[in-house]
Structure 1
């Protein structure tokens, strides 16, 4: 048989061997490309956000150092005196409670917590002595221990400052009440922790108050639960979103309540980039209505009162840096959070991310109100106390002329036209005092030396 005939008969084997050789060559080529990638080639999975968890993204944030100086200058004391004037003007001498806004005799547990924080800070700054601080807080604790609770369980959402009666948000008496806010109560409990740390003589009163409340109703399976009256029926709803939830959880854990689900930020966390910064955003809806929003306030409280933990300090750093970056890019001084405004609807959430967009300003019902964005007094003072950057100093310098020695600090400046947001509130003046005290003595939970 000729060579050609043999070759033809063996053609199927030859094709197989050729294919095998080509396949082997291809595998070796691919291996070489993996081992020594060509210049400029990047594995797309390395930088793909979907391959990195939200918490891993946030852990890459380099936290800013804290700016505790250990001293209070004359300017700080002047600013603090302006803030304390609010409390001199708005404390009821009978109940010891404080108006939520200037001359408006209604309060919540959140705002009562702010009053306690302000009193501790005023004492640390030398505006009042320890005896006055103890007397003020003690009177308010006595009132809280005697007021009627919602369903004999927990504090109602609102009270009349002058009478201690249960009221609605229009400050009108309501027989049963509105229910309770777990976040508001947790805010007050945080303040009670600071009271215990700073004034042990008041510990029996704080203990008696907490024992009177059925806090098991609002901490369930590690989560924070509010009670809301809906068509005459009490409904239990989970409360808190990333930021507020973790601050409130810290407060509850001070008194032995295991709010482990509330403290967990990772389960409901997503990250949105805003002005080049990774911003922590909750995946859940805000009050089951609109996409959740991120504001400065819970991180300011956490830093000024507790001194941050590693996670909250990174979150706060990113939130601060986004506001600084917006200023650098637009020339608009940016210091945003939730705040009262002096026109309807009188309260807005000025977010870093909210309602599905950056820098959204939202009403309680979810309406966009970007024209009401305020460069807020409390945020300016708090960021400056916490981080003390060139930008924070510029914020405070811009806000400083607003201080009214006869009334206190207003909410801030509307960025749309530079006019003053003239609402004057307990929360803003409390944060100013807490910020100035932090600069000198550190977090409130730590007893001053």
Structure 2
């Protein structure tokens, strides 16, 4: 071997090292060139990065005050008036003997929260849970696989949204089922003696139909045929996904908010919104509802805390700008069509009030009782104190809490519902006991 080749062989490790340095330098220069080159588009900025990354401080836990316990007793009065004595299930609205799976989930969460607060005792909660779970285990199922979207609480028959019996059914809702499953998880964790009943309920259900391709999957009956569809938009979708994943279902794609996240400037606050349409018709709705439930039931994760903070801040900013108390979410109204979404952003505009079909109904924007109590439980600011004070007159010791106050007229939205009274109870229980399904605080 020549002297040159011998020296080359001996130096091979140094040569490799120098080559690696040169390659690294070349890569750095190339990347710098990309960043400086106006004709090369940089990677897109994540929409999440446009939302303020300073979450609202969470409320400080403490024992319930006598005032809060009285507020809880008033909320429980709704349930005393509206739980069917035979089936143990609760009316969705005062004296309206129908329920959805979302509302049934709210009922169970409201009952557990009342027990956590000491409003009802051990014997009562166990007896009421037993009766309700036994009824859920007897529900006729849509296509013998999942609960129908609505039932008559007296007969347990499948019904349409007018509470009229239907042999075929309406289909199932993955979001409604997620809320019910959340409540059943809470029952199982807090009441071990009810575990067998919970298992008897869930074992009848074909849960795998609730997801498809990592997304929430619901269905509707259209001209006699079952049509399945993706369900959920930003906020609602992630709330539902967290729950379904607890049951071993692959809802990971739904959980990942950035896939469909965009942002909108609402009164100077960048709030989360959805790139998709609602029902393929109008831009999707952003309300307080799913963010409240995420915090009250799970305790926020890093992302949901950030998104919830933005949704809350926009409402406080509107008040600071206009002087109008603002706490908006979905809910019942006491005029046709009897349900509306008071949004932070939806249908292409801020503060729009919309029906599910996307029709504007801004005269029914409501200062929501449940949103006021929910935000106050989570963040406990001077503004949330004002919100709770603003709805205080809506408490009726004989009927429970009304939905809210119509912003435009100042008229009381006198609907009384299972959802609102359950959230009042859940919010008050959170103040002293922490998240229902979290590790506590």
Same fold flag (TM > 0.5): yes
| Cα distance, 1:186 vs structure 2 | 0.7
Question: Is the 1:83–1:429 Cα contact (8 Å) retained in structure 2?
Answer: yes
Extract unaligned runs of 5+ from structure 2.
Answer: 1-31
CA root-mean-square deviation: 1.8
| Cα distance, 1:448 vs structure 2 | 7.1
User: 1 CA distance for matches of 2:245 and 2:334?
Assistant: 36
Partner of 2:183: 191
Q: Is 1:276 aligned to residue 273 of structure 2?
A: no
Q: 1:176 aligns with which of 154, 168, 184?
A: 168
Q: Aligned runs of 1:329-340 on 2, under 5 Å?
A: 329-340=321-332
Q: Is 1:56 aligned to residue 49 of structure 2?
A: yes
User: 1 CA distance for matches of 2:45 and 2:439?
Assistant: 40
Q: Is 1:437 aligned to residue 441 of structure 2?
A: no
- 3-state SS, counterpart of residue 132 of structure 1: helix
Question: Is the 1:147–1:164 Cα contact (8 Å) retained in structure 2?
Answer: yes
Question: Is the 1:61–1:318 Cα contact (8 Å) retained in structure 2?
Answer: no
User: 2 CA distance for matches of 1:98 and 1:50?
Assistant: 52
Q: 2:392 aligns with which of 389, 400, 409?
A: 400
User: 1 CA distance for matches of 2:43 and 2:232?
Assistant: 26
Distance 1:251 1:352, change over 3 A: same
User: 2 CA distance for matches of 1:400 and 1:173?
Assistant: 38
Question: Is the 1:158–1:166 Cα contact (8 Å) retained in structure 2?
Answer: yes
| Cα distance, 1:275 vs structure 2 | 1.3
Question: Is the 2:279–2:357 Cα contact (8 Å) retained in structure 1?
Answer: no
Q: Is 1:353 aligned to residue 345 of structure 2?
A: yes
Q: Deviations over 1:133-175 (max 9, x none)?
A: 1221221111111111001010000000000000001101001
Q: Aligned runs of 1:225-244 on 2, under 5 Å?
A: 225-244=217-236
Partner of 1:222: 214
Partner of 2:137: 145
| Cα distance, 1:221 vs structure 2 | 2.1
| Cα distance, 1:446 vs structure 2 | 4.0
Q: 2:295 aligns with which of 294, 298, 303?
A: 303
Question: Is the 1:285–1:291 Cα contact (8 Å) retained in structure 2?
Answer: yes
Q: 2:306 aligns with which of 306, 309, 314?
A: 314
User: 1 CA distance for matches of 2:299 and 2:64?
Assistant: 18
- 3-state SS, counterpart of residue 146 of structure 1: coil
Partner of 1:412: 404
Q: Deviations over 1:244-267 (max 9, x none)?
A: 011011111122112111111111
Question: Is the 1:147–1:165 Cα contact (8 Å) retained in structure 2?
Answer: yes
| Cα distance, 1:433 vs structure 2 | 0.2
Q: Deviations over 1:16-51 (max 9, x none)?
A: xxxxxxxxxxxxxxxxxx9xxxxxxxx9x9xxx995
User: 2 CA distance for matches of 1:410 and 1:343?
Assistant: 14
User: 1 CA distance for matches of 2:227 and 2:427?
Assistant: 37
User: 1 CA distance for matches of 2:276 and 2:360?
Assistant: 19
Q: Deviations over 1:280-339 (max 9, x none)?
A: 101111121211010000000000011111110100000000000000000000000001
Q: Deviations over 1:266-286 (max 9, x none)?
A: 111101111111111011111
Partner of 1:326: 318
| Cα distance, 1:413 vs structure 2 | 0.5
Q: 1:204 aligns with which of 193, 196, 216?
A: 196
Q: Deviations over 1:343-374 (max 9, x none)?
A: 11111000000001111000111111111000
Q: Aligned runs of 1:369-408 on 2, under 5 Å?
A: 369-408=361-400
- 3-state SS, counterpart of residue 168 of structure 1: coil
Extract unaligned runs of 5+ from structure 1.
Answer: 1-33, 35-42
Question: Is the 2:241–2:254 Cα contact (8 Å) retained in structure 1?
Answer: yes
User: 1 CA distance for matches of 2:275 and 2:135?
Assistant: 39
User: 1 CA distance for matches of 2:196 and 2:183?
Assistant: 15
User: 1 CA distance for matches of 2:143 and 2:381?
Assistant: 48
User: What TM-score do the two structures reach when normalised by structure 1?
Assistant: 0.88
Partner of 2:157: 165
Select the structure of larger CA radius of gyration.
Answer: 1
Partner of 1:31: none
